[in-house]
Amino acid sequence: MTFVNINDLRLASKKRLPKLLFDYIDGGSLSEETHRRNISDFSKLRLRQNVLGEYAEPDLTTEYLGSKHPLPFMLGPVGFLGLYSRNGEQKAATAAHAAGIPLCLSNFSIASLADLRRVTAGELNFQLYLLDDRTLCEDFLSAAESAGVEKLFVTVDTAITGIRERDVRNGFRSLTHVTPKLFASMCLRPRWLLEMGPGGMPSVRAVAHRNDFGKGALEQAANLSRRIDKRVSWKDIEVLRDRWKGKLIIKGILAPEDAVSAQNIGVDGIVVSNHGGRQLDGAMSTITALPAIRAAVRPDFSLMLDGGVRRGSDIIKAIGLGADGVMLGRAYTFGLAAAGKAGVEHTIETLRREITVTMTLMGVNSIADLKKRGRDLIIEDERLTPTKDESLFQTE
Ligand SMILES: Cc1cc2nc3c(=O)[nH]c(=O)nc-3n(C[C@H](O)[C@H](O)[C@H](O)COP(=O)(O)O)c2cc1C
């Protein structure tokens, strides 16, 4: 099968993964409204087409979170990549680094930062959940420092795990070992089983030394999510701000007032995110939330966006509306699950090509130009937004 776009990779990953894993990646919470809107709200925006400018290959280099990168997107934190493909974290990191972009390693990963350092010298970021066990959090931070991580993303939209009905039905997170039913569903996916089976059940390296988290990724995953601290508040972010000397980025902001609080506390940036529609179902899509957040914070305050990005044009729209860069979630995870490292490379290349073609046809020569002209290039579909009150661009 040739993978023409990200949806082809999604369909291929569905064929390759046991149902329990595909549903864990693909699903959202409750009715999955926010998950769907993250994707579909990009379609409410139109791109300005300017012609007969002098042709130049668009320059995709840009700066986000204080560093220059050859592409306006990076790979965001996705848990348990090593369950979808053997050494999945290593494959994603090396594919990202070959393209010159960073990977942010999820706190809930099979491989540790040290494992990744053995295979790549590229830019690694780390995503942290504040667990009730702060000693363990301190271990994570020390490991990040030893691995040369400069940017720490702290995820704050998971005070409690959203109800993901597909996972409830499949028993994900309540299963602690491979049951006969789970084994039967794995046998329906022989290519995945042949790759993953021989090494046995992977475990989460970062908590492998902790017996209280159990053994094997399934049990450790269930325990890790149970241990996320429900009482995390801005005070904890202040403590973390003092503790972490590198860049600190808050992931999971959707309201302008929270973005302003983050800025006031002195973090280096935020990710406008609703966790890919996996947490508060009914929350705004991220692309809809972005303009008001951009308007509320300082122009130089770093904004990243994730959620629903499946096309290069989605990335152009997010940057046009004020994001400095975009983070991929499911898009590259489908690539990894479908075809390993080559699948992640294919995701990156597909989006790079789509961005290039779209910018060329828009008559935009560089991401810098896109950032400068911004909202002039992104037009709301008037039929979908009949009154000003419902405008996506409403900033108050
Ligand atoms: C399978 C899966 C696991 C995820 N695990 C994490 C995680 O460990 N930490 C985190 O901050 N976000 C996690 N996320 C959320 C992503 O970082 C990101 O916010 C989201 O996937 C963006 O939406 P998109 O997948 O529609 O692009 C996960 C998302 C998925 C799909």
* Secondary structure (DSSP) of 340-383: HHHHHHHHHHHHHHHHHHHHHHHT--BHHHHHHHGGGGEEE-TT
Alpha carbon distance 56, 8 (integer Å): 30
Q: Is 58 in the pocket of ligand 1 (CB under 6 A)?
A: no
Q: Is 10 in the pocket of ligand 1 (CB under 6 A)?
A: no
pLDDT at res. 382? 59
Q: Where are the domains of the chain?
A: 6-385
CA distances from 359 to 57, 179, 313, 356 (A): 9, 50, 8, 5
Q: CATH number for the 6-385 domain, one of 3.20.20.210, 3.40.50.980, 3.40.50.300, 3.20.20.70?
A: 3.20.20.70
Q: Is 128 in the pocket of ligand 1 (CB under 6 A)?
A: no
**Of 35, 69, 275, 346, which one is the catalytic site residue?**
275
CA of 53 to the centre of ligand 1 (A): 39
| Closest CA relative to residue 248, chosen from 49, 25, 66, 37 | 66
Matching residue, tokens 């499946």: 310
pLDDT at res. 218? 87
CA of 146 to the centre of ligand 1 (A): 25
CA of 140 to the centre of ligand 1 (A): 19
Q: Which atom of ligand 1 is nearest to the CA of 24?
A: 1
Who's near 318: CB < 8 A, 6+ residues apart? 287, 290, 305, 309, 326
Residue 135: Cβ within 10 Å count: 7
Nearest residue (by CA) to ligand 1, atom 6, is 78
Q: Is 258 in the pocket of ligand 1 (CB under 6 A)?
A: no
Q: How many helices and strands (H and E) does the chain possess?
A: 17, 12
Burial class (CB in 10 A: 0-12, 13-18, 19+), 283: buried
Alpha carbon distance 152, 125 (integer Å): 6
pLDDT averages per 10-residue partition of the chain, 396 residues: 92 97 97 98 96 91 98 98 97 98 97 98 97 94 97 96 93 81 90 90 91 90 91 96 98 98 98 98 98 97 98 98 98 98 98 98 97 92 51 47
Q: Is 155 in the pocket of ligand 1 (CB under 6 A)?
A: yes
At residue 168, what are phi and psi to the nearest 5 degrees? -60, -45
Helix (H) or strand (E) holding 88, with range, is: helix 88-98
- State which of 249, 278, 315 you would mutate to test the pocket of ligand 1, scoring each by most atoms of that ligand within 8 A of its C-beta: 278
Q: Let me know if 275 is a catalytic residue.
A: yes
pLDDT at res. 1? 59
DSSP3 helix / strand / coil % (the chain, rounded to 5): 50, 15, 40
pLDDT at res. 396? 42
CA of 80 to the centre of ligand 1 (A): 10
Nearest residue (by CA) to ligand 1, atom 15, is 275
- State which of 10, 22, 26, 78 you would mutate to test the pocket of ligand 1, scoring each by most atoms of that ligand within 8 A of its C-beta: 78
Q: Is 343 in the pocket of ligand 1 (CB under 6 A)?
A: no
pLDDT at res. 60? 98
Q: Is 76 in the pocket of ligand 1 (CB under 6 A)?
A: yes
